[in-house]
């Protein structure tokens, strides 16, 4: 999809007057950086700026202390090696 198509789809979804909204946009870091800039310039259907976008990956990584993340990564590698092969 093009950036404008994604923004238009989000505009439609944000026009639904319900509680919280959570939508994901997937792409490379470079593509997402460009998209975040375009989204900051866009307006919702009621002409208000879109809420600030959130990088979920960064949020998760920042929430895990470095030593815990290292342990999780090491344990995951061990689990991958223990899985039976088919």
Kindly list the domain boundaries of the chain, sorted by start residue.
3-82
Q: What is the pLDDT of residues 51-72, one digit of tens each?
A: 888 888 888 888 989 899 888 8
The yes-or-no verdict on residue 86 having pLDDT over 90 is: no
CB within 8 Å of 6: residues ≥ 6 apart? 25, 35
Matching residue, tokens 């002409």? 47
What are the tens digits of pLDDT across the range 5-38? 999 999 998 888 877 878 899 999 899 999 999 9
Residue 50: exposed, middle, or buried by beta-carbon count in 10 A (0-12, 13-18, 19+)? Answer: middle
Distance of alpha carbon 40 from alpha carbon 53, whole angstroms: 8
Return the closest-CA partner of residue 26 out of 53, 45, 51.
53
pLDDT given for residue 58 in this prediction: 86
């Amino acid at each position: 999809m093009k950036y404008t198509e994604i923004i238009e789809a989000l505009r439609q979804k944000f026009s639904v007057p319900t509680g919280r909204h959570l939508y994901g946009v997937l792409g490379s870091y470079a593509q997402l950086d460009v998209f975040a800039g375009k989204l900051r310039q866009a307006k919702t259907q009621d002409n208000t700026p879109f809420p600030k976008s959130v990088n979920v990956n960064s949020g998760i990584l920042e929430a895990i202390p470095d030593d815990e993340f290292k342990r999780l990564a090491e344990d995951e590698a061990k689990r991958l090696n223990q899985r039976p092969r088919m």
